[in-house]
Amino acid sequence: MFYHIKELQYNARPDRPDPVYAKKLQEILGGQYGEMSVMIQYLFQGWNCRGEKKYRDMLLDIGTEEIAHVEMLATMIAQLLDGAPVEEQEAAAKDPIILAAMGGMNPQHAIVGGLGARPDDSQGYPWNARYTIASGNMLADFRANLNAETQGRLQAVRLYEMTDDPGVRDMLSFLIARDHMHQLQWIAAISELEEKEGLVVPSTFNQQYEKQEVSHSFMNFSKGTESAEGKWASGATPDGKAQFEYIENPEAMGQIPELAPAPTHMHGTPPPGKLPPKNL
């Protein structure tokens, strides 16, 4: 169960309206790697957690924090929309600065939202649940979480560079710091699990059942071997259990597919030689 308090986790107050920037800021609210994504992802991982209690508690703590981040962003966006040019004005239609602002706005901010934030990304595409994952395997999911915080901080930093509004930057400096923490947090949690389980997920699958001769081979599917120059192509594997192998000219190991004809009631293309019963 949840409680709300009226104060924001951190200040969200722009120095001046900026409806064009409001459109951009939607990306880290309702985009693929926005705060809604981590909020839903952490909450579902917590609710579905079948592991130790400390994991469930931790996931729900951080998921609960993310709701507060969505709240901060929504509040900021609503204020950036104050003073948006959303009324017919003869003068405006001739001022290219206002015109550009109108063209750069998200029209739904006015028409649909009445100058409010929306659970969408910077293109107006609605947030959807396929952005998230809760797999029941915590090492798998913590890697998803590290990825989300990494992309999320990258986007927040880019948005920081796109404004000079001190109030917006102040709020972003907080979110960027939290993403910093959350990256470190997932790295720590991952290392705790990798120490127990090893690096390859899922650790519980008996590796004798996989085709082990290709478990450490980098396959070069192109002319030229620049791809041989990285740590992924030679030397010890990160788990220290094998050596990477570089296969310069990987050969096909499978059959040439030949599919059986479909049964007649499927009405696919008739096999050659078989006249279609055109007017039977």
Residues 62-81 that bind a copy of itself (CB under 8 A): 62-65, 67-68, 70-72, 74-75, 78-79
Exposed e or buried b for every residue in 225-260, given b needs 16+ CB within 10 A?
eeeeeeeebeeebeeeeeebebeeeeeeeeeeeeee
For residues 200-259, which are near a copy of itself according to CB under 8 A?
200-233, 237-239, 244, 250, 252-257, 259
Q: In sequence order, which residues have a C-beta less than 8 Å from that of residue 261 and are 6 or more positions away?
A: 268, 271
Number of residues that bind a copy of itself (CB under 8 A): 204
Query: What residue type is 187 in one-letter code?
Result: I
Per CB under 8 A, the list member of 22, 38, 80, 117 interacting with a copy of itself is 117
| Cα separation values, 207 from 115, 203, 212, 241, Å | 56, 9, 7, 13
Report the SS3 class of residue 171: helix
Instruction: Decide whether 15 or 58 has the Cβ nearer to a copy of itself.
Output: 58
101 part of the interface to a copy of itself, by CB under 8 A: yes
CA dihedral 218, 224, 228, 232 (to 10 degrees): -40
263 part of the interface to a copy of itself, by CB under 8 A: yes
92 part of the interface to a copy of itself, by CB under 8 A: no
Per CB under 8 A, the list member of 22, 35, 80, 121 interacting with a copy of itself is 121
Tell me the closest approach of the beta carbon of residue 82 to a copy of itself, in angstroms: 5
For residues 159-178, which are near a copy of itself according to CB under 8 A?
159-164, 169, 173-174, 176-178
Query: What residue type is 5 in one-letter code?
Result: I
Per CB under 8 A, the list member of 30, 35, 38, 91 interacting with a copy of itself is 30
